Structure 1
Amino acid sequence: MAIEIKNETEQSADLYLSGSIIDDDMGGIIDEWCDNSTGYQWPEKIRSQLEGLKGKALTIYINSDGGSVPAGVAMANMIARHDAPTTAIVDGWCCSIATQIFCAADRRQMPANAYLMIHKPAVYASGNADDLRRSADVLDTIQRGLEETYQKAALEGVTAEILHKLVNDETWLTAREAAEVFDVELLEASQMTACAGSAKFMQHIPECVRRMMEENLPQEQPTDEAAEESCPKAAMEMRQRAEIALALAKGAMI
């Protein structure tokens, strides 16, 4: 599973949150039909994990390229509501909507070789001119909400205008740079493997990150036949639903 609990004691636990963020309906299909859901995470999955961790201090390790805005915001709110102290640590990179989860924790930490990326939400839209204008208005509203969360985690003196420009420019931040904008503690560098599921939807990936991603790609990619064997009851439906969900997750909802 993409969300794992480790090192649980009576007082604390580590929560590992890695992979692309998707909505509950897509997550339900993966859970029901597929043997392996590694690489995806959704609100219901983290809700059920948090249910058993009430009262325990959490260290949340994040390595995610982002995904669905509604799902990511829901997960961030769950972390914010947790009834014990929370610390979020970027394991590799924390991109797009995953940064909302990072900012929702009480404390934020980053190794020197980790990355943060914030950018504008986007949408796949169709319809007449009025429909498209409404889509743009909705995206502006979503962006204002995201920026309010960033503002709460920002250092004193970092204005709403500064954050707005960083979001508009699709800004990549090293840990040191992130600590100049947000309330982030710097940690020693650690071995980093970034989650690269939706990298093709990012426009300004630093070259050092791109090289690292290429080095960590598996040598052999699974075939369509292998995918169908792992999900024999719903291979076609999964592909169709995945296309729709990913269009939303990487478009309207990142």
Structure 2
Amino acid sequence: MAKILELQKKDKYNKERTVGSIEIKNQTETTADLCFFGDINSESLGEWQKYYPEDKAPKDVQDFLDQLEGVSKINVHINSGGGSVFGGIAIYNILKRYDAEITVYVEGLAASIASVIAMAGDKIIIPENAQMMIHKPSSVTWGNADDMRKEADILDGCQKVILNTYMQHTKEGVTAEEIDSLINAETWKNGKEWQEFFDIEVSEKSQATACKSEYFDKYNHLPDKLKEQPQQQINIDDLAERVAEKLKDATQPETPKVPENDVKQKTAEILEDLELI
């Protein structure tokens, strides 16, 4: 049995839109799957910020869990380039509080805060060709020296929380200083390499598709194979055809002229369809 949980969000015109969905797959009466195949958002997203269907925020995860009935096992699948520190920590806490056995599968990539979410698993499985990346949290701030110092203190606090989270899954003998050093260096490793530090299982090669993320340009040591991913290009001819199709009735003499605001809204809808805004 499967249920679809639609994720709703208001657009810039204050109109409710379906921005994605979570498919609740009950493989048995007691098992469900949760997939993180996009970036991680916080609950405080502004309407100006991009929100793709694959992205997840804490409320999405809580809504997913609230739909489950009698589930004692959850399989969490991750292929994510990271995202909001506070959003990811909240998701980790939500999963840890849920009364179920959680198995995490890193399908292709668990980078940045997605690696923290992976630590919510009672069991963590990373294929030999999948990667996990850990690094220092970062942010953007503006202000004077006092503002900068305050932000630095916040980031240092986040790093302590992240370090403590990783330490819940380290192998015996691995020290906090070792993991902190890997965090500071922005470390990318595959499943077999991480097994030296974390209590994880390594499976055979994954068939996961390439991961896409808005956060890749913020990482210092992004692997070449992720840099080489083609970026989506705007096809102006295609866009023009779609605008013309949407507004074709406006070309008829008996049809009143389409108000400018409607033209803008229809164009915005097309761009949203193309995942460009």
TM-score band, normalised by the shorter chain?
Answer: 0.7 to 0.9
Question: Is 2:164 the partner of 1:164?
Answer: no
1:8 CA displacement? 3.7
Q: Deviations over 1:18-68 (max 9, x none)?
A: 1011122438x59xxx9x942311111111111122542011100111101
| Cα distance, 1:196–1:71 mapped onto 2, change above 3 Å | same
User: 1:2 touches 1:37 (CA, 8 Å); kept in 2?
Assistant: no
| Superposition pairs of residues 138-217 of structure 1, within 5 angstroms | 138-197=154-213, 198-211=215-228, 214=229, 217=230
Query: What stretches of structure 2 of length at least 5 have no aligned partner?
Result: 1-19, 244-264
Cα displacement (A) at 1:16: 1.4
What CA distance in whole angstroms lies between the structure 1 residues aligned with 2:170 and 2:64? 28
Contact 1:54 1:83 in 2 (8 A): no
Aligned CA RMSD, in angstroms, stands at: 3.0
Please give the secondary structure, in 2, of the residue aligned with 1:16. Answer: strand
Offset at 1:207? 2.2
> Displacement, 1:230?
7.1
Amino acid at match of 2:223: P
Query: Whole-Å Cα distance in 2 between the matches of residues 83 and 171 of structure 1?
Result: 32
1:64–1:98 Cα contact (<8 Å) kept? yes
Larger Rg: 2
Alignment-derived partner of residue 245 in structure 1: none
Runs of 5+ consecutive residues of structure 1 not aligned to the other structure: 243-254
Closer/same/farther in 2, CA of residues 82 and 54 from structure 1, 3 Å limit = farther
Is the contact between residue 127 and residue 190 of structure 2 (CA under 8 Å) also seen in structure 1? no
Could you say which structure has the greater relative contact order, defined with CA pairs below 8 angstroms and 6 or more residues apart? Answer: 1
Q: Give the counterpart letter for 1:201 in structure 2.
A: K
Q: Which residue of structure 1 aligns with residue 35 of structure 2?
A: 16
1:66 alignment partner in structure 2:
82
Q: Structure 1 pair 166/38, CA: closer, same or farther in 2 (3 Å)? A: same
Question: What SS does the aligned partner of 1:90 have?
Answer: strand
Superposed, which structure 2 residues align to 1:41-56 within 5 Å? 41-56=56-71
What letter is aligned with 1:21? I
Structure number having the greater helix percentage: 1
Cα contact 2:38–2:52 (8 A) shared by 1: no
Q: CA deviation at 1:221?
A: 4.2
Letter in 1 for 2:216: A
Q: Is the 8 A contact 2:36 2:55 kept in 1?
A: no
Which of 131, 137, 144 is 2:147 aligned to? 131
Partner of 2:261: none
Measured against aligned partners, the alpha-carbon deviations of 1:212-252 in whole angstroms (never above 9, x if no partner) come to xx2xx3664466x68964754998xxx9xx8xxxxxxxxxx
Aligned residue pairs total 229
Within a 5 Å distance, the mapping from 1:18-37 to structure 2 comes to: 18-26=37-45, 29=47, 37=52
Deviation at 1:122, TM superposition (A): 0.8
For the residues of structure 1 that align with 2:177 and 2:233, how far apart are their CA atoms?
A: 45
Preserved contact between residue 2 and residue 17 of structure 1 (Cα < 8 Å): no
Contact residue 113 and residue 175 of structure 1 kept, 8 A: yes
Judge which range, 37-46 or 68-77, deviates more: 37-46
**Whole-angstrom distance in 1 between the partners of 2:83 and 2:221:** 17
Separation of aligned partners in 2, 1:167 and 1:5: 34
Instruction: Give the 3-state SS of the residue equivalent to 1:20 in structure 2.
Output: coil
Answer with 45-54 or 116-125: which moved more.
45-54
Partner of 2:24: 5
Question: Identity of paired residues, percent?
Answer: 37
Q: Which amino acid aligns with 2:140?
A: Y
**Contact 2:133 / 2:189 at 8 angstroms: preserved in 1?**
yes
SS in structure 1 of the partner of residue 222 of structure 2? coil
TM-score, normalised by the number of residues in structure 1: 0.80
CA separation of 1:152/1:2 partners in 2, compared to 1, >3 Å: closer, same or farther?
farther
Q: CA deviation at 1:151?
A: 0.5
Task: Give, in whole Å, the separation in 2 of the partners of 1:158 and 1:180.
Answer: 9
TM-score by length of 2: 0.74
Q: Residue 78 of structure 1 aligns to which amino acid in structure 2?
A: I
